[in-house]
Amino acid sequence: MYLSTLKLWNFRKFGQPGEINIKEPHLCAKFKPGLNVLVGENDSGKTAIIDAIKLVLKTHAYDWIHPTNEDFYDGASIFRIELEVDGLTDNEASHFVEWLGWRDDKPYLRIIYQSRIKDGVIFSSDVKAGQSDDGIQLSLEAREYLKTTYLRPLRDANNELTAGKNSRISQILKGHSLLQKVDGLQHPLETIAETSNEAIKDWFFSEEGGVASNKSLIIDVVDGFLHSFINDGFSTDIKLVPGDIKTILEKLSLEISEDKHLGLGTMNRLYMAAELLHLKQPGKDKLNLCMIEELEAHLHPQSQLKVISSLQALNGIQFLLTTHSPNITSKLRFSNPGVNLLMCKGVSIFSLSEGETKLTKADYSYLETFLDVTRSSLFFSNGLFLVEGWAEEIILPALALKMGHDFTKEEISVINVGSTAYLRFAHIFMPVTGQLMGVKVAAITDLDVQPKDGVFDAEKESEKKARKESNFADANDEVKLFIANQWTLEWCLFSSPATKTLFMDAVATVYPGIVVFQKKRVEGCDDLRYDEGAFKSKLIEKLLPGSSSPFDKVRVAYAFAHILSDKDVNIELSEEDAYISYLVKAINHVCPAIPDGD
């Protein structure tokens, strides 16, 4: 069995003013039996989802989990959580017979939890289950089969694996079938402990050696003081550990063999391995759900990749992870039907599973190959530019700064897809429901209709633009395509009155040996000027495919951005500019509006 659905009403950030409508949850999240990964920026609700599940199902650890004032949506006096468990085998279903419902001729379990607050006092209902809106109380025995395993962020792995009363390692071992005690029989470890205790006792109580015996030097001395402190009826006994299995396990610790100087990262992975021992037991009729917050805690990037790859290969355990790591998201295998990436945005959650967005099977295959660590930052951005190459990636932030936008401060990403495959990435932000994610996306592309003998064909340009726009026909209001008005980015920068001189300066810097790219003295003028006609002809020659000396777009882009960054350079970037309007419109689309007067 596995957790398939979570529904929230007025829990933390997920809520609305007014009465609860049972038919309309404020959040509904769907999970798969395998690996579910929650991503999103800070305060997007990832931890709230984990905490809601913990509050209802509890954990195998002895954590005190109860509702607090902060769990109630602002102004709400009640919150409600519903969970659904699907995929029950006959044996698993037998533990929940009186609470089961049926869907598509298969049993499922609906679990209900509510909490109210009145006069500052929190009142929680019992955990209930069933098909009615109120449900009936779920027995303690049934709830034992639903407990989860939870690894908190910034885990103290050393402490969790160290011996101690109710230590986590003792709980993990105690839950294993090999360490279950059969009523009326002594467990083999208890027999070993008993034998050890007898040997230790024999040594301490040995009479050998006369007046200098072990007993006379230790036990008799302690007993002498004990008799004077209490009375002669008390005497000393010595044991390694009490003989019951629980106490024996609490004296055990788990360590890496030989190496005694281990860092947090290695211990963290050992801790996760121990938890998997607890979860990976055949024949157990229980919910095998492991929730890990910030899987990347204490792990360097290569370790993160290794761990997430291993988890994707496991069967029989359901994982629910939260992460801020592009390393982890870059390694997800979307074609694996057991992998479910969930993007938390605003007060909604969006699955990238097949059929949930406009992503096609070909898109999934492409993303598995080309969605690297850098591009995975798109899952955590407040806004997004999808560009075709390095030149756009370098120049766009510089242009935006001149318009008053700092991409770093505004948490906006420029993703260089390295080709015209921007649509594959854009599909991520197109839910099939048409719901908006709250992330503005601008795909920026060249028109790529080159001139012939220095002349552009307006009809071909119009046809090419129409074909490109048709690919975005099913996009929503947040995802838009911005096409260069003519040929390429470089040509538009050269042709725009606002950027022409700056662009020519950048070209001159990169190509000091090409005479036509340099300023020269013009008869009748005191200053140096470019010969625009000669400059234009040479630029076209170098931009055309098959040029014997191709135009170095990246170096020119760096030079242009550097020149543009000078605080004394003032240019007006307008949507009315026929050549760079597509760039200006893209920036205005993605970036938050600047208040008047700023």
Tokens of 231: 């009375």
**Residue 350 confidence (pLDDT):** 95
The residues near 390 (Cβ < 8 Å, ≥ 6 apart) are 416, 553, 554, 557
Paired residues of 38 in beta bridges: 322, 342
State the pLDDT at residue 598: 53
**Which CATH number applies to 2-159+259-351: 3.40.710.10, 3.40.50.300, 3.40.30.10, 3.40.630.10?**
3.40.50.300
CA distance 531 to 519: 7
Residues 277, 384: Cα–Cα separation, whole Å: 41
Task: Quote the pTM value.
Answer: 0.88
Stretch among 231-240, 285-294, 474-483 having the lowest mean pLDDT: 231-240
Mean pLDDT of 447-460: 94
3-state secondary structure 176-223: CHHHCCCCCCCCHHHHHHHHHHHHHHHHHCCCCCHHHCHHHHHHHHHH
Can you give the residue ranges of every domain in the chain? 2-159+259-351, 168-250, 381-590
Contact criterion met (CB below 8 Å) for 37 and 344: no
Tell me the per-residue pLDDT of 116-165, one tens digit each, with 9 for 90 and over.
Answer: 999 889 998 889 999 999 999 999 999 999 999 998 887 888 888 888 88
Q: What is the average per-residue pLDDT within 504-523?
A: 93
Pairwise CA distance, residues 244 & 185, whole Å: 12
The Cα–Cα gap between 197 and 240 comes to 6
Query: Considering only CA atoms, which of 103, 59, 109 is closest in space to residue 83?
Result: 109
Backbone angles phi, psi at 503, to 5 degrees: -65, -45
pLDDT value for 260 = 64
Q: Using the predicted structure, report yes or no on whether residue 250 has a pLDDT greater than 90.
A: no
Categorize the per-residue pLDDT at 335 as very low, low, confident or very high, splitting at 50, 70 and 90: confident
At residue 488, the 3 state secondary structure works out as coil
Flag the least confident range among 31-40, 259-268, 373-382. Answer: 259-268
- Give the pLDDT mean for 53-79: 90
Q: What are phi and psi of 357, to 5 degrees?
A: -130, -175
Three-class DSSP category at 416: strand
Residues 254 and 161: beta-carbon distance below 8 Å: yes
